[in-house]
């Protein structure tokens, strides 16, 4: 079976699993904090209505948590089977963060979750509130370790490749943990979860108001949801800006694809909206867009905090730009092949016991190590990720993020002046924004992961070298199985959730 | 041992009083069976763990893979 087909199937399977997993996670991240805020109001005011309100949202939180529980474990199964080479190569780095995540999740789930769900009448209100906050903080910290691992894949730091063990070995845990890409990714990701949780609370509450049911409950919920959502949207805006800034430093090909930028320029603008020219090829003179609306200077500022800065385009990154000292992809490919040859030479010298030759090969490898992954690429154009998918996903994410900011603002404003019930259109917008929140989150992950292509580890290991040689038919079978299992779980979640929402807060 | 009893009763009473939770536990049980028994055992062996007996062999296999390109 063709290895390319196998790699594509394994990628499709991983993408399907990750996208389904991400349907459950953001609501857990966001709703957990909203529960903590609602319960804090209850403990402070001692008003039983707030307790009822907290319990209702807690039930919906439990449904989402239970259905989504362990969907991420499938990704770990896939690492061992479909991506065994990758797993081995990064084992030393990923072992610690993922083990901490596993232990943290286990203890958190078996203790504080239990107190949160079973302990209403068994522990004091303050201890219960503490448990709810710890669930929220713990869930978010759990995400930290996953995103530290992912951030390292986007920008590998604090490691060195060991030619004996075939592993990237950690040289500095602090460098890995405080990797700026990991930090900005973590903050942006949890921020998207807060927005999702807020959209959910606002959307469901809007439905109650449209149905003229539980009006006081809905109005209270909507104020908490919209306030938190507005703050979270502003946080998302700031962390998104920092994320893009980091991408400009460490993943320029991703930034160029996000903006459909072929011909690099100073004072580059951001395309607010536009249609890519699908006939455009690297190095030709065709226009990049059929039509577009641009915000002047914004990309130079976003990427380099300077409106005069030069933002390299796809042509610059592939063909090189001598004037601006931008290295061509071909030069990187050549250096990568030197690193690869040095690795072979090292192993051969080791085999025949030629120590000086071995040390010489090691020195040559180290001097070209940063280009190691490029040695596996056969054409310079291969360094560019799929442009259309990255560009449109990025713009869908940003467009929807802007919409959510406006939505939270207007919902909060009309709630505060007591007119939210009369704004039917706004309530419908709130309700129908729930699925849009999921679309925005998934689009964000597509930008992060598709935009990283062709790499499993940026610049170091292409996905083709990361995958295992297994039977493609078995990957097809499991891909189909996952599609069935995850769709069934999603249907179960939606059905149980709708039933519980329809029952309303009285029975929570 | 009093505290242990208290913890056991805490969980027992909690599970007893669940309404929608019972349905969720059924889903969790089915899901765990599918994930950890069906998928893990029949479809997702850890390739390097099952094919090789020690880390040296695993490292050599991965290095061979990296070098033969």
What is the count of residue pairs from A and B with beta carbons less than 8 Å apart?
A: 106
- Please give the C-alpha separations between residue A489 and each of A67, A74, A157, A351, B24, in angstroms, as whole numbers: 6, 14, 37, 53, 11
- Residue A56 pLDDT level (bands cut at 50, 70, 90): very high
Q: Please give the structure tokens belonging to residue A184.
A: 């900005």
Residue B12 has pLDDT above 80, yes or no: no
Q: Which residues pair with A461 in a beta bridge?
A: A457
Q: Which residues pair with A162 in a beta bridge?
A: A167
Question: Omega before A454 cis (within 30°)?
Answer: yes
Contacts of B59 in chain A (CB under 8 A): 88, 164-167
Are the beta carbons of A118 and B66 separated by less than 8 Å?
no
Contacts of B67 in chain A (CB under 8 A): 340, 343-344, 347
Residues A56-61 have a mean pLDDT of 94
Are the beta carbons of A81 and B13 separated by less than 8 Å?
no
- Please give the C-alpha separations between residue A174 and each of A145, A171, A499, in angstroms, as whole numbers: 13, 9, 47
Least confident of A241-255, A291-305, B36-50: B36-50
Cα(A63)–Cα(A77) distance, integer angstroms: 24
Residues A490-507 have a mean pLDDT of 87
Contacts of A87 in chain B (CB under 8 A): 48
Q: Please give the structure tokens belonging to residue A355.
A: 């120590």
SS (H, E, C) B3-64: HHHHHHHHHHHHHHCCCHHHHHHHHHHHHHHHHHHHHHHHCCCCHHHHHCCCHHHHHHHHHH
Residues A243-256 have a mean pLDDT of 95
- Residue A1 pLDDT level (bands cut at 50, 70, 90): low
Shortest Cα distance from B17 to chain A (angstroms)? 8
CA closest to B65 among chain A residues = A465
Least confident of A17-21, A53-57, B4-8: B4-8
Residue A8 has pLDDT above 80, yes or no: yes
Least confident of A83-97, A177-191, A423-437, B9-23: B9-23
CA closest to B68 among chain A residues = A344
CA closest to B10 among chain A residues = A118
Tell me the backbone φ, ψ of residue A431, rounded to 5 degrees: -60, -50
Average pLDDT of chain A to the nearest whole number: 92
CA closest to A68 among chain B residues = B28
Encode pLDDT of A404-447 as tens digits: 999 999 999 999 999 999 999 999 999 999 999 999 999 999 99
- Please give the C-alpha separations between residue A477 and each of A20, A44, A468, A471, B41, in angstroms, as whole numbers: 17, 54, 16, 10, 15
Three-state DSSP at A167 gives strand
Cα(A369)–Cα(A346) distance, integer angstroms: 13
- Domain ranges within chain B, ordered by starting residue: 2-67
- Domain ranges within chain A, ordered by starting residue: 3-251+385-507, 259-384
Contacts of B20 in chain A (CB under 8 A): 59, 62-63, 496, 500
Cα(A232)–Cα(A194) distance, integer angstroms: 6
HSE of A32, CA atoms in CB hemisphere, 13 A: 30
Q: Please give the structure tokens belonging to residue A379.
A: 């054409």
In A406-468 the beta strands, taken as DSSP E runs, fall at 455-457, 461-462
CA closest to A164 among chain B residues = B59
Cα(A190)–Cα(A179) distance, integer angstroms: 17
Q: Does A491 touch chain B (CB under 8 A)?
A: no
Q: What percent of chain B has pLDDT over 70?
A: 97
Residue B4 has pLDDT above 90, yes or no: no
Tell me the backbone φ, ψ of residue A213, rounded to 5 degrees: -120, 145
Cα(A455)–Cα(A467) distance, integer angstroms: 12
State the Cα angle at A432 between A427 and A438, rounded to 5°.
135
Global pTM reads: 0.92
Terminus-to-terminus CA distance in chain B, angstroms? Answer: 62
Residue A349 has pLDDT above 90, yes or no: yes
Shortest Cα distance from B2 to chain A (angstroms)? 16
DSSP code, position A377 = -
Encode pLDDT of A196-221 as tens digits: 999 999 999 999 999 999 999 999 99
| Per-window interface: A 121-160 vs B, CB < 8 A | 122
User: Model ipTM?
Assistant: 0.83
Using CB atoms, pick whichever of B10, B55, B67 lies closest to residue A343: B67
Predicted local distance difference test score (pLDDT) of residue A156: 93
Q: What percent of chain A has pLDDT over 90?
A: 74
CA closest to A345 among chain B residues = B67
**Residues near A175 by beta carbon (within 8 Å), at least 6 away in sequence:** A157, A158
Q: Does B28 touch chain A (CB under 8 A)?
A: yes
Predicted local distance difference test score (pLDDT) of residue A119: 85
Residue A116 has pLDDT above 80, yes or no: yes
| Per-window interface: A 338-357 vs B, CB < 8 A | 340, 343-344, 347
Shortest Cα distance from A141 to chain B (angstroms)? 23
Q: Higher-confidence residue: A232 or A2?
A: A232
Q: Does A460 touch chain B (CB under 8 A)?
A: no
**Residues near A490 by beta carbon (within 8 Å), at least 6 away in sequence:** A20, A23, A67
Tell me the backbone φ, ψ of residue A447, rounded to 5 degrees: -60, -45
C-beta of residue A95 within 8 angstroms of C-beta of residue A159: no
Using CB atoms, pick whichever of A59, A485, A489 lies closest to residue B20: A59
């Amino acid at each position: 079976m063709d290895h390319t087909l196998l790699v594509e199937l394994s990628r499709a399977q991983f993408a399907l699993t990750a996208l389904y997993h991400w349907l459950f996670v953001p609501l857990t991240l966001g709703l957990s904090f909203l529960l903590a805020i609602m319960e804090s109001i209850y403990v402070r005011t001692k008003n039983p209505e707030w307790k009822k309100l907290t319990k209702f949202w807690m039930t919906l939180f439990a449904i989402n948590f239970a259905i989504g529980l362990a969907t991420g474990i499938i990704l770990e199964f896939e690492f061992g089977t479909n991506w065994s080479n990758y797993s081995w190569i990064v084992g030393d780095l990923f072992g610690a963060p993922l083990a901490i995540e596993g232990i943290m999740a286990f203890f958190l789930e078996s203790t504080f979750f239990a107190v949160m769900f079973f302990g209403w009448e068994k522990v004091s209100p303050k201890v219960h509130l503490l448990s709810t906050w710890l669930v929220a903080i713990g869930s978010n910290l759990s995400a930290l370790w996953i995103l530290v691992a992912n951030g390292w894949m986007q920008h590998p730091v604090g490691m060195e490749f060991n030619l004996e063990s075939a592993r990237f070995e950690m040289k500095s845990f602090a460098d890995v943990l405080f990797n700026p890409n990991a930090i900005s990714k973590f903050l942006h990701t949890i921020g998207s979860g807060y927005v999702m949780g807020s959209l959910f609370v606002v959307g469901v509450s809007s439905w109650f108001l449209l149905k003229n049911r539980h009006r006081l409950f809905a109005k209270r919920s909507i104020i908490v949801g919209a306030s938190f959502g507005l703050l979270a949207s502003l946080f998302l805006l700031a962390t998104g800006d920092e994320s893009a800034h980091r991408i400009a430093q460490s993943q320029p090909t991703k930034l160029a694809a996000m903006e459909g930028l072929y011909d690099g320029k100073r004072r580059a603008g951001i395309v607010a909206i536009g249609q890519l020219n699908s006939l455009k090829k690297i190095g030709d003179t065709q226009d990049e867009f059929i039509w577009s609306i641009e915000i002047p200077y914004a990309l130079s500022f976003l990427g380099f905090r300077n409106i005069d800065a030069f933002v390299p385009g796809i042509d610059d990154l592939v063909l090189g730009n001598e004037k601006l000292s931008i290295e061509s992809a071909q030069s990187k490919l050549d250096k990568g092949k030197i690193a690869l040859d040095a690795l072979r030479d090292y192993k051969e010298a080791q085999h025949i016991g030629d120590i000086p030759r071995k040390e010489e090969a090691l020195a040559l490898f180290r001097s070209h190590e940063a280009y190691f992954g490029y040695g596996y690429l056969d054409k310079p154009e291969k360094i560019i990720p799929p442009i259309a998918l990255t560009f449109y996903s990025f713009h869908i994410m940003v467009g929807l993020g802007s919409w959510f900011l406006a939505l939270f603002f207007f919902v909060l404003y009309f709630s505060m002046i007591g007119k939210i019930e009369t704004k039917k259109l706004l309530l419908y917008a709130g309700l129908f924004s729930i699925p849009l929140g999921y679309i925005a989150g998934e689009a964000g992950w597509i930008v992060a992961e598709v935009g990283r292509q062709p790499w499993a580890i940026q610049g170091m290991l292409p996905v083709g070298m990361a995958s295992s040689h297994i039977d493609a038919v078995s990957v097809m079978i499991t891909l189909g199985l996952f599609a069935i299992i995850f769709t069934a779980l999603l249907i179960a979640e939606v059905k149980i959730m709708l039933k519980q929402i329809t029952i309303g807060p009285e029975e929570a | 041992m009093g505290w242990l009893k208290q913890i056991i009763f805490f969980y027992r009473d909690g599970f007893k009083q669940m309404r929608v939770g019972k349905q969720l536990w059924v889903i969790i049980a089915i899901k765990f069976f599918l994930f950890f028994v069906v998928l893990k055992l029949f479809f997702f062996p850890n390739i390097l763990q099952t094919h090789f007996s020690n880390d040296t062999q695993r490292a050599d296999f991965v290095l061979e893979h990296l070098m033969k390109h």
